[in-house]
């Protein structure tokens, strides 16, 4: 049964991939201009002198949580639509990728940490470089939930007890709710106590994965004070052309 | 019509070829990385004894096929006098692997300035770059996160990954190659 679903999923992914390729082949080839290089916008940026032509906002996110809760799975699912069934412990992988957030181009930098760190001096150092944190536990594992408090304390300690540092609490493995150990009520309470969002995800089924990163990045952006132009969520559903005009609009405001 | 269908045929069913250039200081482990990659992905590949690997002067190549994709690796020499040659391979490169020896923190300033130089190239700025933090199995090797901070760069516009590896033991090699394949096909995310 598992095999059948695996084959089906692979097939579906293949079709998706081919379809995407076809789409790009048919519609994107004409535009020689690279999609995200907008000379006009760049020029206006340069003129206003706020940003050098190529520099852009980078949002630095750190994934924390005990081993095996799905930090890597969430990261890879978010960035590459991929889920790996077998568990490979992470050491400290880091990724950067281009994101268009509310019609505005930026980069996300994700540091995917190991569950148990032994050298804490280095860890403090890279926690310090983080601007937003995703604190993950598994709803099937009470211990991983308990540990989230400790991770938050470490973050706050490094951030000089600045409790406004953007954190999202994530309960992963939501596809297995029938076996849940950590009640939804408990999760909600903790998020309230922390003053942050709680999101329940399934890295496996790609449920709420985008929401986690979207919520966090918006908050980070707000903190950086770069959010006068709010094009809203509907930007994500609009066409490429519209997106580009969105970027333009924002840059002229800048 | 013919060209269109031929184009579609090519797009879907022909293997896609990508060129991946491997650079980094001498003795970082580039050649070992390539040998390890070949032994993971090429069937019946006779692994070269690591002690037989000597400093690269010319160019080592290797081809790896997976998921309808063919990766052609170019492993270049990392000695100082050979570094000027790297740029001659950028024109045709679709991705880059930059290998760092994590045990030689004394060389990190040079690594950082080399990386900056590499990143100044406009082609490199627009292709996926994987930083392989090598020899991570050794005691006292720098953490990948540390190397990450060393290589901060604002010019790069494509995907970047910094992964700890051991070319000698083969740790994380598969993850690196999968990342390359994924990032070659990936688009910016719209949120
Ligand atoms: N401990 C350890 N040693 C490694 C690892 N990878 C490579 N080495 C050793 O590092 C030395 C240099 O490896 P090479 O692969 O020849 O280095 P290179 O980057 O190709 O060097 P050039 O060709 O001169 O640019 C060899 O003695 C390898 O055995 C590793 O992961 N761990
Ligand atoms: N059922 C289910 N399994 C998951 C989910 N996310 C991760 N896993 C599995 O949990 C294991 C650990 O995941 P991983 O991302 O490596 O955990 P990390 O140590 O926190 O990075 C792997 O075997 C994953 O396949 C999920 O949402 N649902
Ligand atoms: Mg992990
Ligand atoms: Mg070599």
Residue among B160, B164, B159 nearest B151 (CA): B160
- The per-residue pLDDT for range B62-95, each reduced to its tens digit, is 999 988 899 999 999 999 989 989 999 999 999 9
What CATH number did the domain enclosing A210 receive? 3.40.50.300
Chain B: nearest CA to A178, how far in angstroms? 30
A18, A88, A214 member nearest B191 (Cβ): A214
Interface of B with A in 12-31 (CB under 8 A): 12
Which residues sit with their C-beta closer than 6 Å to ligand 2? A 65, 67-73, 85-87, 90, 115, 172-173, 175-176, 202-204
Percent of chain A with pLDDT over 70: 65
A43-57, B94-108, B112-126, B154-168: range with lowest mean pLDDT? A43-57
Q: Do the Cβ atoms of A53 and A42 come closer than 8 Å? A: yes
Q: Reduce the secondary structure of chain B to three states and give it as a string.
A: CHHHHHHHHHHHHCCEEEEEEEEECCCCCHHHHHHHHHHHHCCCCCCCCHHHCCCCCCEEEEEEEECCEEEEEEEECCCHHHHHHHHHHHCCCCEEEEEEECCCHHHHHHHHHHHHHHHCCHHHHCCCEEEEEECCCCCCCCCHHHHHHHCCCCCCCCCEEEEECECCCCECHHHHHHHHHHHHHCCCEEC
Chain B residues lying within 8 Å of A61, measured CB to CB: none
Residue B9 in any domain: the answer is no
Region B11-28: what's the mean pLDDT?
Answer: 87
> How many domains does one find in chain B?
1
Does A95 sit within 8 Å of B159, measured CB to CB?
yes
Residue B20 in any domain: the answer is yes
- The per-residue pLDDT for range A184-215, each reduced to its tens digit, is 999 999 999 999 999 999 999 999 999 999 99
pTM: 0.79
Q: pLDDT averaged over chain B?
A: 90
Chain B residues lying within 8 Å of A101, measured CB to CB: 191
Interface of A with B in 4-23 (CB under 8 A): 17-18, 21-22
B67 vs A: CB within 8 A? no
Chain-centre distance for alpha carbon B13:
26
Interface of B with A in 32-61 (CB under 8 A): none
Q: Is B25 annotated as a binding residue?
A: yes
Q: Is B144 annotated as a binding residue?
A: no
C-alpha triplet A113, B191, A16: angle, nearest 5°: 90
Q: How many whole angstroms separate alpha carbon B13 and alpha carbon B5?
A: 12
Q: Do the Cβ atoms of B85 and B191 come closer than 8 Å? A: no
Residue among A111, A168, A99, A91 nearest A137 (CA): A168
- Given this model, what pLDDT does residue A42 score? 43
Percent of chain B with pLDDT over 90: 65
- Helix A142-158, helix A184-194: angle, nearest 10: 10
ipTM of the complex model: 0.86
Could you tell me the CA-to-CA distances from B129 to A111, A182, B115 in Å, in that order? 16, 40, 11
Residue A246 in any domain: the answer is no
The domain in which residue A91 lies consists of 58-222
Q: How many whole angstroms separate alpha carbon A90 and alpha carbon A183?
A: 28
Q: How many whole angstroms separate alpha carbon A97 and alpha carbon B186?
A: 10
Q: Do the Cβ atoms of B114 and B83 come closer than 8 Å? A: yes
- The per-residue pLDDT for range B136-188, each reduced to its tens digit, is 999 989 988 889 989 988 889 899 999 999 999 999 999 999 999 999 988 88
Does A92 sit within 8 Å of B189, measured CB to CB?
no
Percent of chain B with pLDDT over 70: 95
Chain A: nearest CA to B162, how far in angstroms? 5
Does A111 sit within 8 Å of B148, measured CB to CB?
yes
A121 vs B: CB within 8 A? no
Residue A4 in any domain: the answer is no
Contacts of A95 (CB under 8 A, 6+ apart): A75, A79, A109, A110, A112, B159, B160, B161, B162
* Strand B59-66 versus strand B69-76 pairing type: antiparallel
- Given this model, what pLDDT does residue B138 score? 93
Q: How many whole angstroms separate alpha carbon B79 and alpha carbon B97?
A: 16
Tokens of A192: 């309230």
Residue B99 in any domain: the answer is yes
Q: pLDDT averaged over chain A?
A: 76
Q: Do the Cβ atoms of B25 and B78 come closer than 8 Å? A: yes
- The per-residue pLDDT for range A108-165, each reduced to its tens digit, is 999 998 876 655 677 788 888 899 999 999 999 999 999 999 999 999 999 988 888 9
Residue A177 in any domain: the answer is yes
- Given this model, what pLDDT does residue A59 score? 93
Chain B: nearest CA to A103, how far in angstroms? 8
Measured by CA distance, the residue closest to atom 30 of ligand 1 is: B135
C-alpha triplet A78, A125, B163: angle, nearest 5°: 45
Does B145 sit within 8 Å of A126, measured CB to CB?
yes
The domain in which residue B161 lies consists of 15-186
Q: Is B112 annotated as a binding residue?
A: no
Q: Using the structure block, give the residue that is written with the tokens 């570094």.
A: B83
> How many domains does one find in chain A?
1
Ion ligand 4: residues, Cβ under 5 Å: B 30-31, 56
Residue among A114, A118, A152 nearest A135 (CA): A152
Q: Which residue has the higher pLDDT, B95 or B9?
A: B95
Residue B122 in any domain: the answer is yes
Residue A31 in any domain: the answer is no
A18, A88, A92 member nearest B144 (Cβ): A92
**Which of B98, B167, B172 has the most ligand 1 atoms within 8 A of CB, as the residue to mutate?**
B167
Residue B10 in any domain: the answer is no
Contacts of A174 (CB under 8 A, 6+ apart): A139, A200, A201, A202, A205, A207, A208
Chain B: nearest CA to A96, how far in angstroms? 5
């Amino acid at each position: 049964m598992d095999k059948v679903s695996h084959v089906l999923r692979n097939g579906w992914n293949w079709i998706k991939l081919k379809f995407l390729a076809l789409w790009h082949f048919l519609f994107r080839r004409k535009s020689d201009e690279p999609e995200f290089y907008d000379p006009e916008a760049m020029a206006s940026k340069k003129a206003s002198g706020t940003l050098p032509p190529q520099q852009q906002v980078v949002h630095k996110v750190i994934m924390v949580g005990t081993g095996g809760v799905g930090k890597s799975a969430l990261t890879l699912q978010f960035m590459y639509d991929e889920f790996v069934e077998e568990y490979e412990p992470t050491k400290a992988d880091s990724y950067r990728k281009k994101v268009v957030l509310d019609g505005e181009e930026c980069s996300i930098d994700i540091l995917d940490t190991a569950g148990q760190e032994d050298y804490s001096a280095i860890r403090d150092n890279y926690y310090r470089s983080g601007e937003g944190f995703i604190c993950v536990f598994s709803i099937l594992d009470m211990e991983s939930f308990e540990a989230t408090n400790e991770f938050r304390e470490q973050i706050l300690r490094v951030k000089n007890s600045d409790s406004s540092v953007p954190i999202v609490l994530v309960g992963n493995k939501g596809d297995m709710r029938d076996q849940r150990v950590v009640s939804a009520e408990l999760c909600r309470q903790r998020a309230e106590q922390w003053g942050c969002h709680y999101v329940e995800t399934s890295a496996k089924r790609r449920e709420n994965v985008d929401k986690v990163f979207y919520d966090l990045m918006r908050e980070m952006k707000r903190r950086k004070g770069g959010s006068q132009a709010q094009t809203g969520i509907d930007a994500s559903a609009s066409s490429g052309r519209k997106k580009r005009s969105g970027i333009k609009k924002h840059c002229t405001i800048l | 019509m013919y060209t269109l269908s031929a184009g579609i045929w090519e797009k879907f069913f022909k293997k896609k070829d990508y060129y991946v250039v491997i650079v980094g200081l001498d003795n970082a482990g580039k050649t070992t990385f390539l040998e390890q990659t070949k032994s993971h992905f090429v069937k019946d590949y006779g692994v070269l004894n690591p002690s037989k690997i000597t400093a690269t002067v010319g160019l080592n190549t290797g081809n790896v096929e997976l998921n309808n994709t063919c990766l052609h690796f170019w492993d270049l020499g990392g000695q100082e006098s050979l570094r000027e040659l790297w740029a001659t391979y950028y024109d045709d490169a679709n991705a880059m692997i930059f290998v760092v020896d994590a045990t030689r923190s004394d060389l990190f300033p040079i690594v950082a300035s080399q990386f900056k130089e590499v990143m100044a190239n406009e082609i490199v700025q627009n292709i996926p770059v994987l930083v392989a933090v090598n020899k991570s199995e050794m005691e006292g090797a720098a953490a990948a996160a540390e190397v990450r901070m060393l290589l901060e760069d604002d010019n790069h516009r494509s995907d970047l990954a910094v992964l700890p590896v051991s070319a000698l033991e083969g740790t994380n090699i598969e993850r690196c190659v999968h990342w390359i394949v994924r990032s070659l096909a990936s688009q910016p995310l719209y949120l």
